[in-house]
Amino acid sequence: MAKGPRLSTLAKVAAPARGVAQRFGFGLLVAAALALLVLGKTHGDAVRQLRVLAVEAIAPVLEVLSAPVISARHALSEIEYFWQTNRENQALREQVTRLAKWQTIARNLEQENANLRALLNPAHDPAPMFISARVIGDTGGLFVQSALLNAGRRDGVEAGQAVTTALGLAGRVVEVGQRSSRLLLLTDLNSRVPVVVEQSRHRAVLAGDNSIRPRLTFLPANAKVNPGDRVVTSGHAGVFPPGLPVGIISSIADGEARIQPLVDWARLEFVTVLRYRALPAGDLAHKGAALGSGRQSPRPVTPGL
């Protein structure tokens, strides 16, 4: 019962001080700031030492208070890392499952393909040899679109050979000298290349007309081709190896398909001449006769490769 009167006495004593602090609090703060400024000017070393002592006294307290915050931050980072790792592992497991499924399908198709090839015993096209050359001259114009190469007859270059780049077919060799040769580009008016639309397997002839987009001719009347379809060489006539990338169908208008070649003519610097020869017609007839008689002839060796 004695605590009640004592608390009321303290409240009565502290009430005037609290009223003064509320009334003159802002002024007291301004006065304290001015006093610190004056002390900093007049007694700089003492104020600096006092500040250092205050920082040293508060630093351990701040370190203790910041330890839980740092620990909580590390814990959240670890939780987030484990959560992200779990999600990545789950995605990788699903990807491995899909890849295992496709691997099984690919192996089955590979085995089926091998069995069918064993039954058919097809004759494979001979692998072409490569001759690297550099473009040393450009004779492009309104009527002739060709380029000069620094490889000729001494390097094994012959007329009619296909010329490619890293992107696709560039054209064919039309003139050969001892040390140089001339490349006729796909876009030239005299260029004719037997091709096939990769998706629909429709055969056609890529005819240049001195424009940047040559056209497809001799397409079947019922050919179903669409913009974006890839066009590759068909290998007919034995001049070009089959399957060389040529371009992409860019537009179809009035029954005429235009091709966007894959080769960048403005950056044509280095090319590859393909020393390719298809199986001669006489050897094909001999092989067909041998197969028809029930015996198998030996595979002919392509000369000059």
Reported as a single tens digit per residue, the pLDDT across 60-89 is 777 777 778 788 888 888 888 888 898 899
For residue 189, give every residue at least 6 positions away whose Cβ sits within 8 Å of its Cβ, in sequence order, or none: 143, 145, 208, 209, 210
Question: Which one-letter DSSP state was computed for residue 126?
Answer: P
In a domain, 82, yes or no: yes
Rounded distance between C-alpha atoms, residue 276 and residue 244, angstroms: 12
Q: Of 94, 121, 148, which residue constitutes the final position of a domain?
A: 121
The Cα–Cα gap between 229 and 197 comes to 7
Examine the domain organization and report whether 112 and 252 are in the same domain: no
Residue of 267, 274, 272, 262 lying closest to 138 (CA atoms): 267
d(CA 163, CA 169): 6
Of 121, 142, 176, at which residue does a domain stop?
121
Q: What is the pLDDT of residues 274-302, one digit of tens each?
A: 987 655 545 544 444 443 444 343 333 33
Give the whole-angstrom CA distance, residue 182 versus residue 137. 9
Given phi > 0 = left and psi -120 to 50 = alpha, else beta, which region is 301? beta
Whether 216 contacts 202, CB under 8 Å: no
- Answer yes or no: are the C-beta atoms of 206 and 196 closer than 8 Å: no
**65 and 194 fall within a common domain:** no
Q: Which residues of 142-171 are buried (b: 16+ CB within 10 A; e: fewer)?
A: eeebbbbbebbeebebeeebbbbbeebbbb
**Secondary structure of 249-264 as H, E, C letters:** EEEEECCEEEEEECCC
Q: Report yes or no: 190 and 214 within 8 Å, Cβ to Cβ.
A: no
Same domain, 81 and 135: no
Owning domain of residue 225: 129-280
Q: Which residues of the chain have pLDDT under 70?
A: 1-25, 40, 43-44, 47, 121-128, 139-143, 277-305
pTM of the shown model: 0.52
* 117 and 134 belong to one structural domain: no
Q: The domain that contains 158 carries what CATH number?
A: 2.40.10.340
In a domain, 287, yes or no: no
Element (H, E) at 164: strand 162-164
d(CA 261, CA 255): 19
CB atoms within 10 A of CB 254: 4
Please give the Cα distance from 193 to 207 (Å, whole number): 7
The DSSP letter of residue 143 is S
Partnered with residue 270 across adjacent β-strands are 134
> 């040529």: which residue's tokens?
246
In a domain, 70, yes or no: yes
Contact 186, 206 (CB under 8 A): yes
* Number of domains within the chain: 2
Could you count the other beta carbons within 10 Å of the beta carbon of residue 286?
A: 13
